[in-house]
Structure 1
Amino acid sequence: MSRVAIPLEAVDWLSVWRGVRGLVLAGDTAWPKRLHRAGHTLFALTDEPAVVDKLGPIDRITPLLARPEAIPTDPFQFEVVFVHQRLHTCDPDEALPQIARVLRPGGCLSASYLIRDDSVPWVRRLAALLRRFDPMAMKGDYGSESLERLRSSKYFPEVEERAFRVWQTISREDLLNLVRHQPLTANLNPSQLAHLLGQVSDLFDSAVRPGESLRLPFQLLCSRAWVNHEEMTGPVVLPESALAIPL
């Protein structure tokens, strides 16, 4: 199947403004390129040398080989820091202060996760079918719970949240390939796998009109966390028990 396309409405909401100078925490090239197409000037932070090589030739994208726990730029460089599907891969105690440091006053951390929406009836039926063979089938750990850490961060006291519905067109072969790549299929013999794929094909036929494709639903969970530098720049107050040395 092709990669799920993030709609422009969601990109605009996460970007806040047009033509921003942004930092994107990049696990691959897809998210930086999507933001680039929306007209933004980007620094792409990644710990993957191959991603640096692929992004380097692109105009208005400057790749940086580093981790978000140690961002190699001066303070107050970016209006928006973007992170898609990767917030859970960071150490929040180290990364969030670094992100706050490089954001300009009034800037924000825009974090997002694309997760499958299992509330649609045909998706629920597919999950129930696969869980006959593996109770954990289609119970992916997306990492989206990391968005909750933003709500408790002293560096980002104001957080806005929004969810976008995103649909991916899926053909019969796409659906069969999705099932073939499930871990549970490694435990099935050829006869069992053929029987399962036959049931999945019947499910497809019952859920779609002849000649059409299904649409696989996703939710794009988005957060805009607005930076507050007071915790980084406030005066140091000595406790009463501290030793004061007059100068």
Structure 2
Amino acid sequence: MGGEDETHRLRAGSFGAVAEEYGRLRPAPCDEAVEWLVPKDSGTVLDLAAGAGTLTALLAERVPDVVAVEPDDRMRAVLAARRPDVRALRGTAEAIPLTDGRVDAVVVSSAWHWFDAARAVTEIARVLRPGGTLGVVWNGMDSSVPWVAEWQARVRPETAGTRGEQRRQWFHDRGARLREDIASAGPLFGEVEQASFSCVRAVAPADLAALLGTYSRVILLPEEERRQLIARAEELLRERLPQGEEVLDVPFRSLCWRVTRL
């Protein structure tokens, strides 16, 4: 158990080492997903575990007041440089530096699995006004698209034939766990809603390959192994590049949950 805890801690703290690349390469959730997650009448929204500000930028286009909370100083510095108009505060999901009932919505992008959920749910409920919403989203390449699954399997052969199913199971497990986390905190929230959104983004092969280097399992690989993996990923993507083109149309999927504070 101790080894698992240490691995979790290392992975959770690894992103700051690639903060600039994270901010440049990580794709934001699909626009429709953001619209679904954030109520239209929201005045103040908290981007919790905001990272380098990928989602923060989209929120700031839609909401008058956005607060970003991020524990890693390196990630938060990139966020602040990208969005100087947004308050970027040091804090965690378990200790949010805001007063009670301060926000209309809390949004968490691809970070819930790093939280101490029992403490986080109570703390999120504290800063939300009654009737406010918690939105959680995981965003990534859509492995149900055959060429994406094939590319991922060729980059990491150990996942051949299983990647799409693993991804579907991963999303299912995340949703089930989120519902358990919300329910275990007592009568703080209503029923959890779920939705899925797809979108396509034009991405250069070099950037899509480098994106792999912003995920914790790859960040923690030995340097030479990580370099070879990314180089192999780019080589395979260039094989798919249409003649005369410089970018690929890449499908992404945002799986979302939202729940209302009672």
Which stretch shows the higher mean deviation, 3-12 or 22-31?
Answer: 3-12
Which stretch shows the higher mean deviation, 21-30 or 92-101?
Answer: 21-30
CA distance in 2, matches of 1:180, 1:36: 27
Q: Check if 1:80 corresponds to 2:108.
A: no
> Structure 1 residues 173 and 17 mapped into 2: Cα distance closer, same or farther (>3 Å)?
closer
1:40-73 deviation digits (Å, cap 9, x = unpaired):
31222121234555538833x2222222112233
> Structure 1 residues 71 and 217 mapped into 2: Cα distance closer, same or farther (>3 Å)?
same
1:95-148 deviation digits (Å, cap 9, x = unpaired):
1011011111111101111022122222233234334xx414795989854443
Greater share of helix: 2
1:215-236 deviation digits (Å, cap 9, x = unpaired):
22121011111122xxxxxxxx
Q: 1:159 aligns with which of 189, 192, 195?
A: 192
- Per-residue deviation, 1:187: 5.9
1:143-185 deviation digits (Å, cap 9, x = unpaired):
8544433323233331111111122323455566678997699
Which stretch shows the higher mean deviation, 41-50 or 121-130?
Answer: 121-130
The number of aligned residues is 218
Q: 2:73 aligns with which of 27, 33, 49?
A: 49
**For the pair shown, which has the larger CA radius of gyration, 1 or 2?**
1
> For the Cα contact (< 8 Å) 1:22–1:79, is it kept in 2?
yes
Cα RMSD over matched residues? 3.8
CA distance in 2, matches of 1:199, 1:55: 34
CA distance in 2, matches of 1:179, 1:101: 35
Could you say what secondary structure the match of 1:44 adopts?
strand
Q: Which runs of 5+ in 1 are unaligned?
A: 229-247
AA matched with 1:135: E
Q: Check if 1:30 corresponds to 2:62.
A: no
Q: Check if 1:216 corresponds to 2:250.
A: yes
Q: 1:149 aligns with which of 163, 168, 177?
A: 177
TM-score, scaled to structure 1: 0.71
Q: Which runs of 5+ in 2 are unaligned?
A: 1-23
> Structure 1 residues 204 and 95 mapped into 2: Cα distance closer, same or farther (>3 Å)?
same
1:72-102 deviation digits (Å, cap 9, x = unpaired):
3322111101111111111001010110111
